[in-house]
Amino acid sequence: MISNFLQDNEALIRLIMSDIQGMTKYIHIGVGIALVYGVLYLLYVIFCKITKRERKLSAWHAISVFALLIYLTAILFIVFMSREVGQYDGVNLHLWSSWGITTRRKALFIENIIMFIPMGILLPSAFKTFRNPFVCIFSCAVMSCFIEQTQFIFKLGFAELDDVVTNTLGGAIGWIIWGILWLIFLIIHGIFHKNK
């Protein structure tokens, strides 16, 4: 069954993988920004040790923020820097119309979901506020609306309702993945402490 699906959709899967590989060229910029944060966090840790203050920001928080900064920088560069200003113009408010019949349109539709899955995972990992699913998913929707609005204003891409819906769906999937991982962590952590 799975092999049949892969064979039937081989061109689509190859296109998606190629596009994802192309997106990695912006990660180094995100790493640079995240390294600045890493240095600031290290200075914060040193300051807490010297002044013998309790550290309020954990290492896990720092790692999550580090990853979030890399991700957000890469997304913003992909969306805003990879296209010429004035290249595209238009609004599409017809729901599910971007699925299309071509392999390229289907790939873009799926990529819009995949693109926001990390946001749904990283936001609640970095900040407790986003552990509330409604706050996290709403934030993903707002970020997607911001991207679409900016694309429309600067004619960097078509502003599509489907993009907002698929990005938000990706954020929701990411939050579910984070929730499952968090539940597993709590179970393992609880079992470990019980056996001590």
Contact between residue 120 and residue 172 where contact means Cβ atoms under 8 Å apart? yes
Which residue has tokens 């470990």? 192
Q: State how far the Cα of 133 lies from the Cα of 123, in Å rounded to an integer.
A: 10
For 154, the token pair is 């600067």
Over residues 148-154, mean pLDDT: 84
Q: What DSSP character marks residue 97?
A: G
Structure confidence at residue 37 (pLDDT): 81
Q: State how far the Cα of 124 lies from the Cα of 71, in Å rounded to an integer.
A: 14
For 12, the token pair is 């689509």
Structure confidence at residue 172 (pLDDT): 98
Structure confidence at residue 87 (pLDDT): 59
pLDDT for 59-113, tens place per residue? 787 888 888 888 888 888 777 776 666 556 678 788 888 777 788 888 888 999 9
Structure confidence at residue 122 (pLDDT): 94
pLDDT for 5-59, tens place per residue? 667 678 888 888 887 777 677 777 777 877 888 888 888 888 888 888 877 777 7
| Per-residue pLDDT at 121 exceeds 60 | yes
| Per-residue pLDDT at 178 exceeds 90 | yes
Q: State how far the Cα of 160 lies from the Cα of 103, in Å rounded to an integer.
A: 18
